[in-house]
Each structure stands twice: as C-alpha cells, then as structure tokens.
Amino acid sequence: MKLIPAEIIKKKRQGQEHSLEELRAWIDGFVSGQVPDYQMAAWLMAVYFQGMGKEEISFLTQVMRDSGRVLNFSHLGAFCVDKHSTGGVGDKTSLMLTPLVGLFGLKVPMIAGRGLGHTGGTLDKLESIPGFRTNLSLEEFQKQIETLGYAIIGQTAEICPADRKLYALRDVTGTVESLPLICGSIMSKKLAEGLNSLVLDVKFGSGAFMKSQEEAQSLAQLLKTTGERQGVKVTTLLTDTNQPLGRFIGNALEVKECLDILDGRTFTPSAPSKQVDFDYYQPTRELTLQLASHMLHLGGKADSPEVGYSMAQKALESGQAAQAFSALCQAQGGDLARFRGEEMSPRPFAEVRAPQAGRLESMDCEQVGWASLLLGAGRLSHTDKIIPCAGIEVNCRLGEVYQKGDPLFYLYGDSSSQKACGEVEARLLNSLAWDKDQ
C-alpha cells in the first residue's frame, strides 16, 4: 500500500477508523524512518482527541507487536502466563509472583519495565540485588524459560521497536494519557512474549495513572477485549492505590520486603504507632496471592481462583517460593547472600512526624511516589542514576488516628538523598489530609 502520511493524519483528525493495512503501513513506516516524528506526533494528537474503535485498537496492537520479534514457546508444551500492572507505588508483587507461579510448571516469560513517572519499575528493583542481570539476550531468555521455566528481563531492541519509538514521542508530545495508545503499548509488548494468558492488575486511586475507578474499569475492559481478540485469555483485577502497597517504597527496600515475606516474616511496628496490630506486609502478600491465584487458574493448574489461592499460599508458607526466588536470582547472576548481608537491616537517615493529632483521611499517593524519586529511588530525567538504597518506609495508614509527633515516614538513602530531605518532608506532609476532630 502506498503511504500518504497527510491522508492518514487527516482521516484520524476527522474521527474515521483505519484499516489493518493502513495501520501496518503507517507504523512500519514510522519504525523504518519513512514517517518522520512530526507527522507521527500530529497523528498521536489526533488519536488523543478522536480515540479509536475497538477493532482498530486491536489492529494497532497487532501491528505494534509485529514490528519486532514475537516469541513462541508452544514447542515446550506448557502454558505461558504473565502479569502486568499499570503502575503503582510500592508494588513489588512481580518479584515474588514470577517464581511462585513458575513453581507449578507454568512458563512465565516476564518482560518488565523500569520506573515510569512517579511509579517504580521491576527491573530497577531487581538490579538492586548485586549482579542481577535484567539484560539477558533473547536467546538466554528463551533458554532460561526452557530450563528454569521463568525469567524477568527488560524490553530488548528486538521486541516491539514500534512501542519504544512511539512511547518516547508520546512522552514529549503530551499524548501518554490516551486509552487506545496505552492499550496498544501495554498489550503489544505482552503479546510479543508468546503468552497463552495474562492477568492484568489495573490500578486506580491517587497513586495510579487512572485516578478514578471508572477510568480504570474502561482501561481494564479495553485491555481484556484487545488481548482476547488476539487469542489470549485475560483476567483483570482492579486494585486500590490510594496509599502505597506494603511497608517500603524504593528498590533495595522493596526487595527486602519481598525477602521478608518469602521468609515468612511479618511487619508489625511497635509503639508509638497506633497500629500495633497491623501487619504492613499483609497488603503486599495478599495482592501477590490474589494475582497468583488467577494465574494458576488461567494456566489450568487450579480449578478455580480459590484453589489457586490456597496452592500459592502453601508454596509461600512452606518456603518453596523463597527457594524459587533464589533460583531466579542464581540463574540471572544475582548475589542474594551479598544483598542479605548489606541491605536487610537498613538505617533511616530521617523521620517525618505528624504535625498534629488527628485521623489520617487521605493521602496523595502520587506525591509519595515523587518524594521517593527525589530521594533517588527513581529517575527525574533519563540520564539520572538510581540510588538502590534510597526510599521511604511508610509508618501510617489511612483511617488511623495519630498523635502529634508520631513518626509517619522514615527516609533512606545516601548523602545526595539527604540533600533532598527538606523538600521530601514538605511533599510528604502536604500529601496528607487530616480530620483533626478525632
């Protein structure tokens, strides 16, 4: 098909739908450099305002997937399953989930991401384990799926080059927050893994990209329909991100939380916090088990998610999941013994205390995410280096009553994190709303 870029842009500007053939020529033309950034930027903005039809989104996803290599594990005769989260604060579930589900004979070829905006990324977390390689070649990745059954790597140049190029352009043209473009971006990468089924954790709330439950529901429906049109079984969970997940935010701190959970430890802080009975690790453990339960069910290992839940719980409690995580680290070069020696008893350099007594009514969790980035747990620009030990320990929960001076957050990091301390403290305190009559 002869490509006339201005015609494609005008068509979308007028709200018309593209055919599969048109989208293939358009996206392939962009990847090869025939379509320049300025024309693609105009089209992205037209999509942002006009949207796309369901079939059209499915076509877009398909051509983005086909822009690079599409993996295929069907020769292994085992079910391939994965999980994707739309991004939260303190969400470290992928680290435990991948080996936990892999234990049951399902193949889990996870291609994960780095931090995006105020949210953390699985690759950055794993790289806080000394030596852990997330940059396996596709050949090494495929081999590990064949032998161990599970692996976690970053997107390589060969997988979905269209998404890499499009995402970079969306990032600088104000076109990230478009449901069809988000759907194409997420699903093309997941479909390139050669999956049979996918569990999607679609986050909503102040710490998520989708602030309202309705928006998250629309995205979940779109992701599900798009996956199913490509022959992949999809289950979606909507999860609340109005406060961070678990106790810790930050790369090494989140790995520590995972190791504690895998080792069967709980985290119940002692006084002066009012929540002496609350295990801060429980939300992380619970979401991991929920996601595992659906993966085991979709993968045909459990008759129902309830059965899958108790299978996953047993694997966690028996220490099998901990062994499977060690096997993952070993296979990808991660030195867990060194991590345990250096990072399992971190010391905070500062604490943030309650400015008054009251009930904690709400938290702008996105601001808590940005505060952790300011400490060095994420990147403010592409060239920034992550500080693995940087982050925040969350010592407060919504709905609880605190006294003036109670410690609400503990801050971690190195000397450069300490320079951001004032701004981080102000941001954290501003993120909280109190009912002072309590």
Q: How far is the CB of 22 from ligand URA (least distance, A)?
A: 22
Residue number with CB closer to ligand URA (185 or 417): 185
- 185 belongs to the catalytic site: yes
Q: How far is the CB of 325 from ligand URA (least distance, A)?
A: 24
Q: How far is the CB of 223 from ligand URA (least distance, A)?
A: 11
Q: How far is the CB of 215 from ligand URA (least distance, A)?
A: 13
Q: How far is the CB of 311 from ligand URA (least distance, A)?
A: 30
Site for ligand URA in 274-313 (CB under 6 A): none
Of 50-58, 179-187, 264-272, 384-392: span binding ligand URA (CB under 6 A):
179-187
Residue number with CB closer to ligand URA (63 or 182): 182
Candidate residues 23, 123, 182, 220; the one interacting with ligand URA per rule CB under 6 A: 182
Residue number with CB closer to ligand URA (186 or 232): 186
Candidate residues 185, 196, 241, 288; the one interacting with ligand URA per rule CB under 6 A: 185
- 297 belongs to the catalytic site: no
Of 67-75, 181-189, 259-267, 269-277: span binding ligand URA (CB under 6 A):
181-189
β-partners of residue 363 are 432
Catalytic residue, candidates 82, 91, 163, 201:
163
Cβ atoms of 305 and 297 within 8 Å: the answer is: yes
Residue number with CB closer to ligand URA (78 or 116): 116
Of 61-69, 128-136, 177-185, 384-392: span binding ligand URA (CB under 6 A):
177-185
Q: How far is the CB of 186 from ligand URA (least distance, A)?
A: 5
* Residue with the CB atom nearest ligand URA in the bound state: 185
Binding of ligand URA by 40 (CB under 6 A): no
- Three-class DSSP category at 82: strand
β-partners of residue 201 are 85, 237
Binding of ligand URA by 179 (CB under 6 A): no
Q: Site size for ligand URA, by CB under 6 A?
A: 5
Binding of ligand URA by 186 (CB under 6 A): yes
Cβ atoms of 41 and 2 within 8 Å: the answer is: no
- 381 belongs to the catalytic site: no
Catalytic residue, candidates 84, 107, 203, 294:
84
- 66 belongs to the catalytic site: no
d(CA 204, CA 177): 14
Interface pattern 101-120 for ligand URA (x via CB under 6 A)? ---------------x----
- 118 belongs to the catalytic site: no
d(CA 153, CA 151): 7
Cβ atoms of 227 and 234 within 8 Å: the answer is: yes
HEC letters along the chain: CCCCHHHHHHHHHCCCCCCHHHHHHHHHHHHHCCCCHHHHHHHHHHHHHHCCCHHHHHHHHHHHHCCCCCCCCHHHCCCEEEEEECCCCCCCHHHHHHHHHHCCCCEEEEEECCCECCECCHHHHHCCCCCCCCCCCHHHHHHHHHHCCEEEEECCCCCCHHHHHHHHHHHHCCCCCCHHHHHHHHHHHHHCCCCCEEEEEEEECCCCCCCCHHHHHHHHHHHHHHHHHCCCEEEEEEEECCCCCCCEECHHHHHHHHHHHHCCCCCCCCCCCCCCCCCCCHHHHHHHHHHHHHHHHHCCCCCCHHHHHHHHHHHHHCCHHHHHHHHHHHHCCCCHHHHHHHHCCCCCCEEEECCCCEEEEEECHHHHHHHHHHHHHCCCCCCCCCCCCCEEEECCCCCCEECCCCEEEEEECCHHHHHCHHHHHHHHHHCEEEECCC
Residue number with CB closer to ligand URA (211 or 340): 211
Q: How far is the CB of 21 from ligand URA (least distance, A)?
A: 24
Of 57-65, 98-106, 135-143, 180-188: span binding ligand URA (CB under 6 A):
180-188
Site for ligand URA in 42-61 (CB under 6 A): none
Of 178-186, 279-287, 345-353, 396-404: span binding ligand URA (CB under 6 A):
178-186
Q: How far is the CB of 86 from ligand URA (least distance, A)?
A: 6
d(CA 297, CA 378): 34
d(CA 314, CA 289): 10
Residue number with CB closer to ligand URA (162 or 321): 162
Residues forming the site for ligand URA (CB under 6 A) = 116, 181-182, 185-186
Active-site residues, by number, are 84, 163, 170, 185, 189
